[in-house]
Every structure is written in C-alpha cells, then in structure tokens.
C-alpha cells in the first residue's frame, strides 16, 4: 500500500512540475475547457477564412477562363486576317495596280495646286493694297 500511495504522490508531483513549466501550478477543469473552446473557436475561424479565400480564388478562375479564351480567339483572328491581307497585297497582279496613281486624283491635285498659286497671287495683291492704304492714311494724317 505504501508503494501505491508513493506512486500516486510521484505522479501528482510530475503533473505539477509539467504545469509549473507552463506557468500554472495545476490545471483546473474550467480553464482547460475554456482553452479548448478558445482553440476550437480559433480553428473554426481559420477554416472560415480558408473557405472565403478559396471562394475568391474560384471566382477569379471562373472569370479568367472566358477572358483567356476570348483573348486567344482574338489573337488567332488577328493572325488569320494578317496572313490574308499580306497574301492579297503581294499578289503579282495587284502590285502594279496598287502602285499606279489614279488619273482623276492627279487631275484634282493639279487643279488644287493651280488654285493655291492663284490664292497666293491674290494674297500678294491684297497685301500691296493694304500697304498702300496704310501709306496714304499716314500721308493724309500729316
């Protein structure tokens, strides 16, 4: 019997020494329940945060997939259009037509150039008239 009581005393001392390491002489059941509840609350909170994070990531992926598909389709369409335009542009038959000047445009350009020269002459005449009127007003003012 003495051995059993000695063994119980030794176990009590070991328990007390372990809890004294953590800053408490011995755990009481209420504080242990409170710490378990607090830890479980923290765990539930962290689980909730992880779920929210994964929902955000899921929504982002759902948004990115159509955007990526549309971007790929647009790039592919641009490449196809580019190839078509280049092949049509560099055909042997069309190069000479593209480089030749349109006759009506040349005539219109000549008409506009002659009109521009005429307007320049008119501007010169108006300038001379203005200078002459300024001189005559100065002369009359004396």
What pLDDT digit, counting tens, does each position of 64-92 carry?
999 999 999 999 999 999 999 888 777 76
The tally of domains found in the chain comes to 2
Q: Both 38 and 94 in a single domain?
A: yes
Q: Both 124 and 139 in a single domain?
A: yes
Q: What is the 3-state secondary structure (H, E, C) of 17-75?
A: HHHHHCCCCCCCHHHHHHHHHHHHHHHHHHHHHHHHHHHHHHHHHHHHHHHHHHHHHHH
Q: Both 70 and 36 in a single domain?
A: yes
Confidence (pTM):
0.37
Contact status, residue 71 vs residue 63, Cβ threshold 8 Å:
no
CA distance 36 to 41: 8
CA distance 120 to 130: 15
In a domain, 37, yes or no: yes
Q: How confident is the model over 99-112, as pLDDT tens digits?
A: 776 778 888 999 99
In a domain, 10, yes or no: no
CA distance 88 to 104: 25
Q: Both 86 and 111 in a single domain?
A: no
Domain span holding position 36: 28-100
Q: Both 92 and 65 in a single domain?
A: yes
In a domain, 53, yes or no: yes
In a domain, 113, yes or no: yes
Q: Both 50 and 90 in a single domain?
A: yes
């Amino acid at each position: 019997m003495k051995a059993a009581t000695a063994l119980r005393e030794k176990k009590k001392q070991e328990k007390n020494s372990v809890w004294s390491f953590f800053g408490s002489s011995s755990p009481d059941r209420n504080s242990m329940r409170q710490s378990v509840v607090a830890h479980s609350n923290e765990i539930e909170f962290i689980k909730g945060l992880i779920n929210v994070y994964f929902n955000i990531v899921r929504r982002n992926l759902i948004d990115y997939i159509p955007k990526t598909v549309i971007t790929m389709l647009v790039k592919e369409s641009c490449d196809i259009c580019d190839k078509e335009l280049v092949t049509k542009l560099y055909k042997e038959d069309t190069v000479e037509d593209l480089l030749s000047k349109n006759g009506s445009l040349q005539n219109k350009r000549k008409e506009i150039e002659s009109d521009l020269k005429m307007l320049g002459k008119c501007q010169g005449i108006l300038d001379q008239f203005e200078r002459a009127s300024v001189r005559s007003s100065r002369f009359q003012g004396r």
